[in-house]
Amino acid sequence: MLSKQIFSPVNLLPHEGEALYVPSFLSSEESSRFFSKFSSGIRWNQETIWMFGKRVMQPRLTALYGDPAIPYGYSGISMQPYPFTPELLELKQRLDVFAGVSFSHVLLNFYRNGGDSMGWHRDNEKSLGNNPVIASISLGAERRFQFRHYMNKAPKIDLMLASGSLLLMKGESQQAWEHQLPKVSASTAPRINLTFRVIQSAKA
């Protein structure tokens, strides 16, 4: 039942943190509406980041929206947020209620095809504080997502992120586990991902 899935989602992590998967957080009509709105209405950019002392192009497009007073940085880049659009604000307000926090920003990722990806990482920047709550919405093509324990590099936990789904990560999940979105065959259709975050001001 939909209501059961929404109100008692399963924790995918066996210990140290929570990753709750809600397959139908958005209806398929809402998912299509948001997908087309964000495809053309978001100011997508391909950033270059520092990796192992080299500047490399990220294998995806990104954009940051949220509180303009609080910039956000990771992997040696600093991003200045654009203010929330009405659609992003609508999603933020629904996720605030669901997660019981007030999200300040959303980092958006556009995976143009299966060749675009995101490598193993943890979202554990200082500006996210201890045990951050991260709400991740998927739109468009279904893609594989994986967790593995940060220290042991095992076990590996695999799931398919459906269009309209929510993955809510909290507790110790960003300390104890890393995650990735691996490459797949390049013919895969585009996917948009939104990760809502609570980013603390540098002065706080």
Ligand X SMILES: O=C(O)CCC(=O)C(=O)O
Q: Counting contacts by CB under 6 A, is residue 107 touching ligand X? A: yes
Determine which residue in the list 31, 58, 104, 109 makes contact with ligand X, applying CB under 6 A: 109
At closest approach, how far in Å is the CB of 113 from ligand X? Answer: 14
At closest approach, how far in Å is the CB of 9 from Fe ion? Answer: 18
At closest approach, how far in Å is the CB of 169 from ligand X? Answer: 9
Q: Counting contacts by CB under 5 A, is residue 125 touching Fe ion? A: no
At closest approach, how far in Å is the CB of 7 from ligand X? Answer: 23
Q: Counting contacts by CB under 6 A, is residue 181 touching ligand X? A: yes
What value, to the nearest 5°, has the Cα angle with vertex 139 and ends 35 and 117?
A: 115
Q: Counting contacts by CB under 5 A, is residue 123 touching Fe ion? A: yes
Residue nearest to Fe ion (CB): 123
Contact footprint for Fe ion (CB under 5 A): 123
Contact footprint for ligand X (CB under 6 A): 107, 109, 118, 123, 136, 145, 161, 179, 181, 193, 195
